[in-house]
Chain A
Amino acid sequence: MTKIAIFDYGAGNLFSLKAALERNGAQHVFIIHDMKNLDKFDGLILPGVGNFDPAMKSVEPNKELLIDSIEDSMPMLGICLGMEMLFDKSEEGMLEGLKILDGDVLMLPEKKVKIPHIGWNNLEISKKETKLLEGIRNSSWVYFVHSYYVSPKIKSIVAAKSEYDIVIPAVIEKDNIFGTQFHPEKSGNIGATIIRNFLGVCAKRK
């Protein structure tokens, strides 16, 4: 019985994420508002709709608990904003990020392309061994909706990239920490495979 927790910071579209997890084999999906009992779950998702500061404000009181769980090898998937929050800081807000990963979140440059980056773009897989992208072919289409991107200090954590005027890290993978700049729950069959891969990691950890 894979139990997944989705952290609710008040602005996210949690319903379709929950539905996508259930369609792809998660037996129990819980929406949580604090992280007191994270050890009950097999995996945690930080969802991807909202704005940096309000989202950070709601995660802040849970920061220590979250970091403890991640260090205790809890699989964690940050989607879009949920991934951005793992870094040091963001140009979208004034508050500090979770500082779980080194690097900053920057605004997409608006020179040649329209911002936000909304739509279907191709994945260029850059890491050979990736649990999250197992079975995903190069150039697969995934759905992006964002105005900011992550710039990790350690480039080897980037598992896949996408190009939108500049090169954007699209998938981050570091041990039990996973992140996608795009929305797997909105990316058709490709996204479904990614969700199943994450659930597979969660099931193994038990």
Chain B
Amino acid sequence: MPLAKRIIPCLDVDDGRVVKGVHFAKVKDAGDPVEFAEKYSQQGADELIFLDITASQQGRETMKNVVRNVANVIDIPFTVGGGIKTLEDARDILLSGADKVSINTAAVKDPLLIIKLTSIFGRQCIVVAIDAKRNYNNNGGGKNFFKNDNEKKKYWFEVRIYGGKEGTGIDAIEWAKRVKSLGAGEILLTSIDADGTENGYDITLNKAICLTSRVPIIASGGCGRPEHMLDVFKNTEVDAALAASIFHYEKSSIDKVKEYLKKNGIKIRI
């Protein structure tokens, strides 16, 4: 029997407040993380993800408090990412009440960190976040090229770090295979191109990673309507779909999205 597909609201947190960016920039204030967590949990969210997008030293302390307050009120799993560089950072967040930690830039800089973390905490609580962007230049690094019928130029997916600001020259498909072999329990796959556009998930990216890395994949970036979730579940093998603005600005609610998906034949926990 297949598992239920998970619907995961994501809360980008900046200095203790929930915010949502467009294309990883232009930040808008959207509210209190604990209120959001409580609301989403009651509406039937399968999991929550918090990304600490500032990750300054001061922001990190604030984040630990946010994590504690959230863990007090919800009874579904939640993941925290953003600025986790060391074993101590991960332990701090886990002991504040998170179930999983997500690492991104730190894993690219030091892939062995994945092994270190999984050997202590178990692979199931280590999520590797990959931020990928289409790169149309064949300037080295690209190993897997794509071109859809309606697109003129071929491209590859490049891993970007520091919140999308810096390219790495690493092919995201190869990186996903590597993090899986290093023991990552899950991959949170964000398309920078799609993020904040509300035009739908990057199906090409999600499909490609699912086909090459047999590890649970959370699709992220681009969800603006329930139809986008149906699209990514029908056309790729992702296990979960993450969204932020669709829920934050109450364009739809989690229970409505789940009803819609269930009606359309997706296995959903209701």
B124 at the interface (CB under 8 A from A): yes
- Measured CA separation A189–B91 after assembly (Å): 28
Closest B residue to A8 by beta carbon equals B95
B3–A121 touching, CB < 8 Å: yes
**B-side contacts of A183, CB under 8 Å:** 77, 99
**B-side contacts of A23, CB under 8 Å:** 75
- Measured CA separation A113–B103 after assembly (Å): 24
- Measured CA separation A149–B1 after assembly (Å): 17
Across the interface, B94 reaches (CB within 8 A) one of A13, A145, A163, namely: A13
A191–B97 touching, CB < 8 Å: no
Closest A residue to B215 by beta carbon equals A114
B77–A51 touching, CB < 8 Å: no
A188 at the interface (CB under 8 A from B): yes
A114–B71 touching, CB < 8 Å: no
B3–A50 touching, CB < 8 Å: no
**A-side contacts of B3, CB under 8 Å:** 117-121, 164
Interchain nearest-CB distance for B123 vs A (Å) = 6
With A16-B99, A114-B215, A119-B6 as known contacts, state yes or no: A50 contacts B72, CB within 8 Å.
no
**B-side contacts of A186, CB under 8 Å:** 75-77, 99
Across the interface, B120 reaches (CB within 8 A) one of A51, A120, A164, namely: A51
A120–B121 touching, CB < 8 Å: no
A49 at the interface (CB under 8 A from B): yes
- Measured CA separation A178–B225 after assembly (Å): 43
A192 at the interface (CB under 8 A from B): yes
B214–A114 touching, CB < 8 Å: yes
B158 at the interface (CB under 8 A from A): no
Per-position binary interface string of chain A over residues 146-159, scored 1 when its CB falls under 8 Å from any chain B CB and 0 otherwise: 11000000000000
A118–B119 touching, CB < 8 Å: no
Interchain nearest-CB distance for A30 vs B (Å) = 16
With A118-B239, A119-B3, A121-B1 as known contacts, state yes or no: A185 contacts B75, CB within 8 Å.
yes
Interface residues of A in 139-191 (CB under 8 A from B): 141, 143, 145-147, 163-164, 183, 185-189, 191
A54–B215 touching, CB < 8 Å: no
**A-side contacts of B119, CB under 8 Å:** 51
B112 at the interface (CB under 8 A from A): no
**A-side contacts of B1, CB under 8 Å:** 121-122, 163-164
A116 at the interface (CB under 8 A from B): yes
Interchain nearest-CB distance for A8 vs B (Å) = 10
B122–A50 touching, CB < 8 Å: yes
Across the interface, B216 reaches (CB within 8 A) one of A116, A120, A121, namely: A116
Specify which of A54, A115, A192 lies most central, judged by the most chain B CB atoms within 10 Å of its CB. Answer: A115
State the total of A-B contacts with C-beta under 8 angstroms.
108
Indicate the size class of the contact surface on chain A: 35 or more
Closest A residue to B270 by beta carbon equals A141
Interchain nearest-CB distance for B11 vs A (Å) = 17
A15–B124 touching, CB < 8 Å: no
A199 at the interface (CB under 8 A from B): no
- Measured CA separation A143–B121 after assembly (Å): 18
- Measured CA separation A114–B3 after assembly (Å): 10
Interchain nearest-CB distance for A168 vs B (Å) = 11
Interface residues of B in 101-155 (CB under 8 A from A): 118-125
B83 at the interface (CB under 8 A from A): no
B4–A11 touching, CB < 8 Å: no
- Measured CA separation A2–B4 after assembly (Å): 35
With A49-B122, A114-B239, A147-B124 as known contacts, state yes or no: A15 contacts B4, CB within 8 Å.
no
Interface of B toward A, CB cutoff 8 Å = 1, 3-4, 6, 41, 46, 68, 71-72, 75-77, 91, 94-100, 118-125, 185-186, 214-216, 239-240, 269
Interface of A toward B, CB cutoff 8 Å = 11, 13-16, 19-20, 23, 49-51, 54, 81, 110, 114-122, 141, 143, 145-147, 163-164, 183, 185-189, 191-192
Known: A23-B75, A116-B185, A118-B239. 15 other contacts (CB 8 A): A11-B94, A13-B95, A15-B95, A20-B75, A49-B125, A116-B216, A118-B3, A118-B186, A118-B216, A119-B46, A122-B1, A141-B269, A143-B77, A145-B99, A188-B41
Q: Give 11 CB contacts A-B under 8 Å.
A: A11-B91, A11-B120, A14-B95, A51-B119, A114-B216, A116-B216, A119-B3, A119-B6, A121-B1, A145-B125, A188-B76
